[in-house]
Amino acid sequence: MESTVVLHELPPVFNEQSRVLFLGTIPSPKSREKGFYYAHPQNRFWPVLAAVFGEEIPQTTEERRAFALSHGIALWDVLASCTIRGADDQSIKDPVPNDLSMILTHANIRAIFTTGKKAAALYKKYCLPQTKREAIELPSTSPANCRYYTFDRLFEAYNSAIKATGIL
């Protein structure tokens, strides 16, 4: 598979009631195709959050947006653009960060979570100097991470991190 330049075209999801910000690296090909975050059918982000909040798994873009906003969750990505091979975060080159101030100045964000090691590393390198706010690294919910993180381990990591923010 060849590397391509990807421009982040999904708008951030947030409102004034957002209290936690989840940041991935950049939308996967499936998320770009579907027009929303964590849209790959095997990505476990939405099932994990549904379990954390004790609700049904949101299925549609509208349900996912409503779910996030109703629970004080903001969604975006660390990168505005990069060169990447498919959805392989390890292949990222030429990263350009998003300006997170758009969210951080309009919402009282209590915690920033990165979903995966690459998102955490990119946040630390490119965003932390501007935000001056540490991010908490959570495991990736990607289907590529299934052999390392079972659903139960993901649930435990996300549940304890979200509970620590006080929004549950």
For residue 72, give the nearest of 166, 147, 146 by alpha carbon.
Answer: 166
Can you tell me the mean pLDDT for 153-164? 96
Report domain extents, the chain.
3-165
- For position 166, what pLDDT does the model report? 84
Which SS3 state, helix, strand or coil, does residue 106 take? coil
Known catalytic membership, residue 159:
no
Q: What is the phi-psi region of residue 59: left when phi exceeds 0, alpha when psi lies from -120 to 50, beta otherwise? A: alpha
Q: Which of 15, 43, 108, 145 is catalytic?
A: 43
- For position 137, what pLDDT does the model report? 98
**Alpha-carbon distance 105 to 88, whole Å?**
31
CATH of domain 3-165: 3.40.470.10
- For position 167, what pLDDT does the model report? 78
Question: For residue 136, what is the enclosing H or E element?
Answer: strand 136-138
Residue 146: is its pLDDT beyond 80?
no
For residue 98, give the nearest of 81, 120, 114 by alpha carbon.
Answer: 81
Q: What is the phi-psi region of residue 94: left when phi exceeds 0, alpha when psi lies from -120 to 50, beta otherwise? A: left
Residue 145: is its pLDDT beyond 90?
no
Pairing of strands 88-97, 79-85: antiparallel
Backbone angles phi, psi at 92, to 5 degrees: -60, 130
Residue 168: is its pLDDT beyond 70?
no
C-beta of residue 80 within 8 angstroms of C-beta of residue 98: yes
For residue 98, give the nearest of 12, 19, 31, 4 by alpha carbon.
Answer: 12
C-beta of residue 21 within 8 angstroms of C-beta of residue 103: yes
Residue 144: is its pLDDT beyond 80?
no
pLDDT digits (tens, 9 = 90+) for 118-138: 999 999 999 999 999 999 999
Q: What percent of the chain has pLDDT over 90?
A: 92
Residue 148: is its pLDDT beyond 90?
no
pLDDT digits (tens, 9 = 90+) for 37-90: 999 999 999 999 999 999 999 999 999 999 999 999 999 999 999 999 999 999
